Structure 1
Amino acid sequence: MAPRYKRILLKLSGEVLAGGASFGIDAERVRALAAEVAEVAHTGVQLGIVLGGGNFFRGVAAAARQMDRVTADSMGMLATVINCLALQDALEKQGMPTRVMTAIQMPQVAEPYIRRRAIRHMEKGRIVVFGGGTSNPFFSTDSAGSLRALEIGAEILAKATGVDGVYDKDPRKHPDAVRYDRVTYSEMLAKNLAVMDASAVAMCRDNNMPIVVFNLTTHGNIMRMSMGEPVGTIIGNAL
């Protein structure tokens, strides 16, 4: 069976790399994630990945503790680069050539983000991991994911979370929460379904970039998603 998508932007939270811990990087969790991602890449899917940094630093939470928001967000962006390097190492141990590209220039550590170079890497079968967010404060890595998906011409933005889709309320707190199979961008924004930042959803809406929200903790879901199987909630225009 051939993959449904040729090019995917995969958005992962930093917490994914922490595994069962609340902080840092769980080497076994990163290895398992890299194995799943490599399996998809071996089918010929071109993959870009945007990683958050929440396992090291939460910018908004730090700002609430009286730290300057711009400084806090800058620290959060640097945290994403740590995660990108950890994932790159794990992917290359799976035999997948991988490039880390950062929006914040640090040439001794990673390549600077250049759109055409990133696309060329993917065309050559390399996985590209994008770090540093957008390089601007006040923008989340959700917004970075939407931006990179549009820039590289991805066919879908895949947001991997700890729940199996978009619900009308938090299913971890409300047992009667109802899951959507499909939801429009406008419904997401009007109902404040907070699985993604509003600015990221609006960017996708304005440029007709479909989003799928799915559960990363179920083994094999990245492959199922790439094959077009119904593994979560599709966010897009009305049918």
Structure 2
Amino acid sequence: MKYKRILLKLSGEALSGTKGYGIDPKVLLQYSEEIKKVIQAGTQVAIVIGGGNIFRGIEAQQAGIDRVQGDYMGMLATVINAMALQGALEKVGLYTRVMSGIRMEQVCEPFIRRRAVRHLEKGRVVIFGAGIGNPYFTTDSTASLRAIEIEADVVLKGTRVDGVYSADPEKDKTATRYSTISFDDVYKMGLNVMDMTAFTLCKENKLPIIVFDMNKSNNLYKLVQGEQVGTLISMD
């Protein structure tokens, strides 16, 4: 396999499937089967998942909820998703650990870098919940930071589109898809890949990002094998 250790970033909205809210068990099972193939091939997998299918801090702010309060509520939503994914992964026979940026020992472990790395070395899937434990940081930032901390080879951002485009392909049918692009070109063209904090963390640490369609069967396995899937964002 091309990548020994990956950080897979999933959006909370993806878990809702066609319902648009909550958690769709069919999506959980599909993702679990895709992750199982990668684990069985020998790649270590860490996951960061959003909470937008349950609660979004930005929308709460618009409704009059304090930003800090809303962000903490969003962090708790990511723990709910992490626990749901943990249950699905264990149903397909994988050992998992949920590690939280906020201490809640009754349901998950606190994040400790060395312990997380040890879990990965033992073949366990590690799911990072509750962001980094601080408001004003997105789950994209969590993905970048945790990937750097555990020395992942790449950040894989699983989305519903098959890569990075010059414009939103769902709105502009003439949008051009890139197979590879540099960090600098993403900056220059103002492309929306991750939030700026997360993107800059990856650039400064020379950590490549691959944006790909997680909903297409075998995409994750092909990507980790080294096949050209999605869009690779790197220093070159």
Short-chain TM bin: over 0.9
Q: Equivalent of 2:20, from 22, 42, 54?
A: 22
- For residue 161 of structure 2, what is the aligned residue in structure 1? 163
Q: Equivalent of 1:98, from 96, 108, 133?
A: 96
1:170 is paired with a residue whose SS is coil
User: What TM-score comes out, normalization by structure 1 length?
Assistant: 0.97
Q: Equivalent of 2:45, from 26, 47, 62?
A: 47
Report matched runs for 1:216-231 at 5 Å: 216-231=214-229
Point out 4+ residue stretches in structure 1 off by more than 3 angstroms: none
For the residues of structure 1 that align with 2:196 and 2:185, how far apart are their CA atoms? 11
Q: Equivalent of 1:132, from 124, 130, 133?
A: 130
1:100 is paired with a residue whose SS is strand
- Name structure 2 gaps, 5 residues minimum: none
Q: Percent identity?
A: 51
Equivalent pair of 1:189/1:198 in contact (CA under 8 Å): no
1:199 is paired with a residue whose SS is helix
Shift of the alpha carbon at 1:108?
0.3
- For residue 179 of structure 2, what is the aligned residue in structure 1? 181
For the residues of structure 2 that align with 1:127 and 1:66, how far apart are their CA atoms? 37
Shift of the alpha carbon at 1:189?
2.1
User: What TM-score comes out, normalization by structure 2 length?
Assistant: 0.98
Report matched runs for 1:2-81 at 5 Å: 3-81=1-79
Return 184-193 or 106-115, whichever deviates more: 184-193
Deviations 1:181-203 (A, max 9, x none): 11111222232211211111100
Equivalent pair of 1:184/1:236 in contact (CA under 8 Å): yes
Output the amino acid matched with 2:143: G
Equivalent pair of 1:62/1:72 in contact (CA under 8 Å): yes
For the residues of structure 2 that align with 1:162 and 1:11, how far apart are their CA atoms? 12
Shift of the alpha carbon at 1:163?
0.4
- For residue 145 of structure 1, what is the aligned residue in structure 2? 143
Deviations 1:45-100 (A, max 9, x none): 00000000010011112212222111111111100000000010111111100000
- For residue 191 of structure 2, what is the aligned residue in structure 1? 193
Deviations 1:83-121 (A, max 9, x none): 000010111111100000000100001000000000000
- Name structure 1 gaps, 5 residues minimum: none
For the residues of structure 2 that align with 1:191 and 1:41, how far apart are their CA atoms? 36
Return 134-143 or 189-198, whichever deviates more: 189-198
CA RMSD of aligned residues (A): 0.8
Output the amino acid matched with 1:49: I
For the residues of structure 1 that align with 2:106 and 2:185, how far apart are their CA atoms? 44
Q: State how many pairs are aligned.
A: 236
For the residues of structure 1 that align with 2:135 and 2:170, how far apart are their CA atoms? 30
